[in-house]
Structure 1
């Protein structure tokens, strides 16, 4: 199988991990994660040919995986900054975790909410808002409501990588080919495209010619939709194309937030992680807000690694620690996902 051959060629030890998928499903999801065709009006047919099966056979298998909750969607990441929204990671010191889970569950702007084994820093939330000041106000209110002793708002100075994909043979995350996130992308309207196009391609229909129904809704040709998608991807409105999986349902139940302090430049450190750690799904250079805040957690580089066990994650962390630009590293494993099933 080509994925195994690739890793052997790279000198990487491949260990087939048990993730509850048959070989056909594993191959199909690997192709849809890492080789999603961007030049085809019928991407599923393109993948089916590579698998040596009929397109309907592939679509039936994908529908079953979707019904099982393993396949969340096939489509594109939509950069919230193209909708002029601000996003920040907020760390809370202390507080009632169950109360935090309840608040996160009822907040549509919360995309991630985790309890982590970070000592007094237990609750970590990623939230969107119309401005950073609005996020700061929200964080203060959230801290009061959960009884936290304090909080830190950590904004992204630069997102060096965002690509949440899972290597179904090694049992560890591995980013795809489209990983960069533009900090200030244009809006679709500024590119001469319909404002609703990004949302419509976030989750493509599991059908032949999936762009057809989108084109009909927008009053465009299929070819125009596909070209628009490619332009949005090029300009950073869209990103990370392909299959999006529920890692927990196939055994990727461990995730580690690796926080690295730089010897000199945080930007250089993040770039070194980009160049050497393909298993990192998020690599973000973060700064405290307000900028004059004396923060424990910033300025630092944050990297996320997912795996079927700590045994596959720990060697990745050791490689981060050995990078030339790293001064020190702290690792916070997730204890509980406080908002499972959130739209991401």
Structure 2
């Protein structure tokens, strides 16, 4: 991949241009023809390298979400995973190396609706779910830096995010978010194309997105890449059972490690699940991930706490969260979700 195309994938995971012709603006910045930029994004969307170009909603600001785990008999895993993946409320669904071997993220319009969804999954699958809502985030929804070099050390410690009151969206905002959650179309004037469906101008769409970013409703607006398609075939969910009075300090330090792609505290589900500190580490091979995890744990003296490493085995589904009903996005294709 040449330098210009690398920048198209990496540099606009945040702050994708909110102008009438964003792809033309990117073309001018990286020194490419506008049609070539559009063709590149269309190809990446089609092959699944890019999941979508659009909003990443801050956890807890619209509706409710939680990590959910099931302990599924191995003979039934594919069948149960398929049932779970069929639900539009589920946006990530992975097999992981553990007794609790099926892990997915579920979202809904409210905490009550989320609970109903999880209960329906329990009935449909015959498996008792672990519901693990997030309590504090230390590094999350910030993109996947394709040029990071963990050997260069850590990054700046971020202000932890804690659960905030959900935003109250007007009907028009809900409709727009319902369309944008599927991503911008790869056309010359994408905001105008989105606005046309809703009776809005392209400028009005951009202004609404700007407002969401300023209010904290969105963590970012940009290119959402899939790590596996980019060669990062190994990923591990690393967990620790850290004393409640110390977990925030360890979480901030862990989230500042350059090799960590996600880091947060989740509610325990005792007695089945004791762990409260989570991070994700991605790499191109299992040995690379294990070495990175070992170095981080040694640096922070983390492994004095009970811990586990859950490598991903199979990806059953990966797409953006659906906080708004799909009906709100009628006419928008979902094929680019590439589940």
TM normalised by structure 2 equals 0.77
Aligned equivalent of 1:122, options 86, 92, 101: 101
- Name the counterpart of 2:336: none
Q: Structure 2: state its 5+ residue gaps.
A: 322-339
Distance change (3 Å), C-alpha of 1:105 and 1:220 = closer
Shift of 1:152: 2.5
Measure, in 2, the Cα distance between the counterparts of 1:333 and 1:213.
41
Shift of 1:97: 1.4
Distance change (3 Å), C-alpha of 1:187 and 1:77 = same
Shift of 1:58: 1.2
Measure, in 1, the Cα distance between the counterparts of 2:201 and 2:115.
44
Measure, in 1, the Cα distance between the counterparts of 2:105 and 2:228.
19
Q: Secondary structure at the match of 2:11?
A: helix
Aligned equivalent of 2:134, options 156, 160, 166: 156
Q: Secondary structure at the match of 1:340?
A: strand
Contact 1:63 1:206 in 2 (8 A): yes
Q: Which has the higher contact order (CA 8 A, sep 6+)?
A: 2
- Name the counterpart of 1:269: 250
Contact 2:72 2:80 in 1 (8 A): no
Contact 1:160 1:181 in 2 (8 A): no
Measure, in 1, the Cα distance between the counterparts of 2:301 and 2:215.
30
Structure 1 window deviating more from structure 2 (132-141 vs 203-212): it is 132-141
May I ask how many residue pairs the two structures share in their alignment? 310
Measure, in 2, the Cα distance between the counterparts of 1:215 and 1:47.
21
Shift of 1:288: 3.3
Shift of 1:321: 1.0
Measure, in 2, the Cα distance between the counterparts of 1:81 and 1:124.
19
Shift of 1:304: 1.5
Measure, in 2, the Cα distance between the counterparts of 1:244 and 1:179.
22
- Name the counterpart of 1:249: 229
Distance change (3 Å), C-alpha of 1:134 and 1:47 = closer
**1:36 maps onto 2:16 in alignment:** yes
**1:340 maps onto 2:317 in alignment:** yes
Shift of 1:143: 4.9
Measure, in 2, the Cα distance between the counterparts of 1:169 and 1:324.
24
Residues 251-303 of structure 1, C-alpha deviations (whole Å, 9 max, x = no match) = 222111011232542222222222x22443332211136xxx434334x1111
- Name the counterpart of 1:49: 28
Q: Structure 1: state its 5+ residue gaps.
A: 1-20
